[in-house]
Amino acid sequence: MKIAGERVVSFHYTLTDEEGQQLDSSAGGEPLSYLHGTSGLIPGLERELEGREAGDQFEATIAARDAYGEVNPALIQEVPLDMLAGIDNLRVGMQLQSQGPDGRVQQLTVDSIGETSATLNANHMLAGKVLHFEVEVTDVRAATAEELDHGHAH
């Protein structure tokens, strides 16, 4: 069965950045499953999977715009250290959560820490990055009525 809309796809993947550093992998665990055609994956990877079948292995290099998007400078802000006084062991690379103006929880990364302020970055950690995937499709099946109704794989 080929990968197309209304099908549930399972695959193993290893994700590396342009420098070849491994960022994520499903190896040794459960494969990732998603409902094809519902933007459950980054668009570039979904496009690469289209038309493939169980057992297919391939590599794909995906530009930032087809992955997690370009870095948005408006999402990077400097805040006074006073505002972060309640956080233990504040350090570069740390992930913080804050509530945005719309009430949604935002994930922030501490980009740098100065003497009086810190730079917080609300871009996705993989924004602006070219991503390299090694993929092995393990299963393709028709989605159930319930999965189609919910818009995701079960």
d(CA 74, CA 5): 35
Minimum distance from CB of 150 to Zn ion (Å)?
Answer: 3
Minimum distance from CB of 33 to Zn ion (Å)?
Answer: 12
d(CA 16, CA 148): 31
d(CA 16, CA 47): 18
Minimum distance from CB of 147 to Zn ion (Å)?
Answer: 7
**Residue window 29-68: x/- pattern of binding to Zn ion, with contact defined by CB under 5 A:** ----------------------------------------
**What token pair was written down for 152?**
């995701």
CB 79, CB 118: distance < 8 Å: yes
Determine the Cα angle at 22 with ends 16 and 27, to 5°. 100
- Candidate ranges 4-12, 18-26, 44-52, 142-150; the one touching Zn ion (CB under 5 A): 142-150
**What token pair was written down for 100?**
């945005």
Burial track 143-153 (b if 16+ CB lie within 10 A, e otherwise) = beeebeeeeeb
Task: Assess 2 for contact with Zn ion (CB under 5 A).
Answer: no
- Candidate ranges 22-30, 44-52, 94-102, 144-152; the one touching Zn ion (CB under 5 A): 144-152
Task: Assess 150 for contact with Zn ion (CB under 5 A).
Answer: yes
- Candidate ranges 7-15, 22-30, 52-60, 146-154; the one touching Zn ion (CB under 5 A): 146-154
Size of the site for Zn ion (CB under 5 A): 1
Give the footprint of Zn ion on this chain (CB under 5 A): 150
